[in-house]
Amino acid sequence: MNYKIIADSSCDLTEEMKEEMNIEIASLSLQLGDKVFVDDENLDVLAYIKEMKACPIAPKTACPSPQDFLNLYQGDEAVFVVTLSKELSGTYNSAMLAKELYLEEHEEKFIHVFNSKSASVGETLIALKIDELGKSGLEPQEIVYQVNEFIEKMDTYFLLESLEHLAKAGRLKSYVAVIASLLRIKPIMGATSDGAIRLVHKVRGYKKAFMKFVDTIGEEISDFSDKVLGIAHCNCLERAKQFKSKVMEKYNFKDIFIVEMKGLSSTYADDGGLVIAF
């Protein structure tokens, strides 16, 4: 079966992953004041983070348009789309509208849009799963079934230096960010079953929160031998490596990989943020 994967630019990938997968990216746009950035391979993420810190106005983001997805749906391949949680972005709806429009003229085309119920490295794991199943020769509908099961079982957590941008963007209640800052609380956040954001733990001080972040992985599952852990970092590779090392001491993951966040993920995770999924 010929297939391709389409993901939005919240899907954080290494160069090796891009080379190994037939994947195309629908870029979100990012706005700092009156300056607009495209979250693609040309974006200088470190420079963007620096500008974001200096900007007095909260960053804004815009999802890819239906036309962006229509352009990517061209071709004879079966198409599997992975988007940000529809609780956090309009990307899923944009991809679905494009699907409906495209199928009006190309009824024979196979297109399936997955709501990741996650973001960042959660999308990465889903894309990798689709690629694994596609290369095994499964039929499209069987891939959809298995990937939906994978999404339902996947967990996503994040530990951020600051909740300011999440709050300003309306992804989190503003008083939570204010209280956290005043009390030096580093909340460990996670995804709900439908892909919204929930508070998992409140910990005072980053060092304690970091170790609690490691412990959180094992609170509901004990055997990780069939699971892959993805770690995404925003400009803090050494912290991500330290986290990986602590996880390897405690859990038996089949594999662990680290990716660097691109623009969209960095906008909300901010400098020093970590997002994990498994």
**Do 108 and 33 touch, CB atoms closer than 8 A?**
no
Q: Is 43 part of any domain?
A: no
Q: Which two tokens stand for residue 44?
A: 């200088």
193 with 266, same domain: the answer is: yes
**Do 244 and 217 touch, CB atoms closer than 8 A?**
no
172 with 200, same domain: the answer is: yes
Q: Is 191 part of any domain?
A: yes
11 with 123, same domain: the answer is: yes
**Backbone dihedral angles phi then psi of residue 26, each to the nearest 5 degrees:** -95, 110
161 with 264, same domain: the answer is: yes
The number of CA neighbours under 13 Å toward the Cβ of 15 is: 1
112 with 176, same domain: the answer is: no
CA distance 240 to 222: 22
The residue out of 133, 153, 173 marking a domain boundary is 153
144 with 161, same domain: the answer is: no
Q: Is 53 part of any domain?
A: no
20 with 82, same domain: the answer is: yes
CATH number of 264's domain: 3.30.1180.10
The residue out of 120, 153, 186 marking a domain boundary is 153
149 with 164, same domain: the answer is: no
Domain around 96: 3-28+63-153
118 with 253, same domain: the answer is: no
The count of domains in the chain is 2
Instruction: Tell me the residue type at 26.
Output: A
257 DSSP β-pair partners: 230
What stretch of H or E contains 56?
A: none
* Positive/negative CA dihedral, 263, 246, 155, 21: positive
Q: Is 50 part of any domain?
A: no
The residue out of 105, 130, 153 marking a domain boundary is 153
CATH number of 145's domain: 3.40.50.10440
**How confident is the prediction along the chain (278 residues), in pLDDT tens digits per residue?**
899 999 999 999 999 999 999 899 999 999 999 999 999 999 999 999 999 989 888 899 999 999 999 999 999 999 999 999 999 999 999 999 999 999 999 999 999 999 999 999 999 999 999 999 999 999 999 999 999 999 999 999 999 876 666 655 555 555 555 555 555 678 899 999 999 999 899 898 899 999 999 999 999 888 999 999 999 999 999 999 999 999 999 999 999 999 999 999 999 898 999 999 99
192 with 268, same domain: the answer is: yes
171 with 248, same domain: the answer is: yes
